[in-house]
């Protein structure tokens, strides 16, 4: 980018436009503020790659759009925060999960990606961070896979209960 286009100039000239675009895409003023800051950090890092002044707005627009779409995509992958954790299982379900036979059936039906963290966490009592380190994945991935294991176990339990009734 030409020397006359500095980050301060870009911020003064395009800051409100970037914020408005972020707010439209994200539909959240706080997330839009965060995204606007993140975008200017990106612009600072890549200021040398910026086009000439007459082509800078489409370049910024593309960066804003891609960043906001990534924020939206990533938000779908995160668990929504809640004030209070719901009670997921009742005593009957806990008793059946503890049952070695039932646990074995759930493990056998689970794909390897879900089976390994479940065995390490539930079977060996490893902490989630240690499970992640052992499997070479993130803690978030371990949480997702343990959640999927629990969902599958609850589904199997419900099917077993329906078969007994």
pLDDT digits (tens, 9 = 90+) for 52-102: 878 888 888 999 999 999 999 888 877 666 677 665 555 555 554 456 677
Residue 3 predicted with pLDDT over 60: no
The span from the CA of 132 to the CA of 110, in Å, is: 18
Q: Which CATH class is domain 7-77?
A: mainly alpha
The span from the CA of 161 to the CA of 12, in Å, is: 64
State whether the Cα torsion 98-101-105-111 is positive or negative. Answer: positive
Predicted pLDDT at 63: 92
Higher pLDDT, 103 or 107: 107
Enumerate residues 6+ apart whose C-beta is below 8 A from 163. Answer: none
Higher pLDDT, 78 or 1: 78
The span from the CA of 134 to the CA of 111, in Å, is: 18
Give me the mean pLDDT over the 140-152 stretch: 88
Q: Which one is the CATH code of 91-164: 1.20.81.30, 3.10.20.30, 1.10.10.10, 3.40.50.720? A: 1.10.10.10
Q: Is the entire prediction scored with pTM above 0.85?
A: no
- Break the chain into its structural domains and give their ranges: 7-77, 91-164
Q: Are 33 and 19 in contact (CB under 8 A)?
A: yes
Q: Are 43 and 7 in contact (CB under 8 A)?
A: yes
């Amino acid at each position: 980018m030409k020397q006359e286009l500095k980050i301060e100039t870009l911020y003064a000239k395009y800051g409100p436009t970037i914020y408005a675009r972020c707010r439209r895409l994200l539909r959240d003023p706080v997330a839009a503020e965060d995204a606007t800051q993140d975008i200017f950090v990106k612009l600072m890092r890549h200021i040398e790659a910026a086009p000439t002044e007459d082509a800078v707005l489409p370049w910024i627009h593309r960066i804003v759009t891609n960043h906001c779409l990534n924020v939206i995509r990533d938000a779908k992958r995160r668990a929504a925060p809640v004030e209070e954790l719901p009670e997921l299982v009742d005593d009957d379900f806990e008793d059946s999960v503890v049952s070695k036979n039932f646990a074995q059936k759930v493990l056998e039906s689970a794909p390897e990606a879900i089976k390994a963290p479940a065995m390490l966490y539930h079977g060996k009592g490893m902490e989630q961070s240690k499970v992640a380190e052992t499997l070479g994945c993130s803690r978030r991935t371990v949480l997702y896979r343990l959640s999927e294991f629990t969902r599958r176990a609850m589904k199997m339990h419900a099917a077993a209960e329906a078969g007994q009734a």
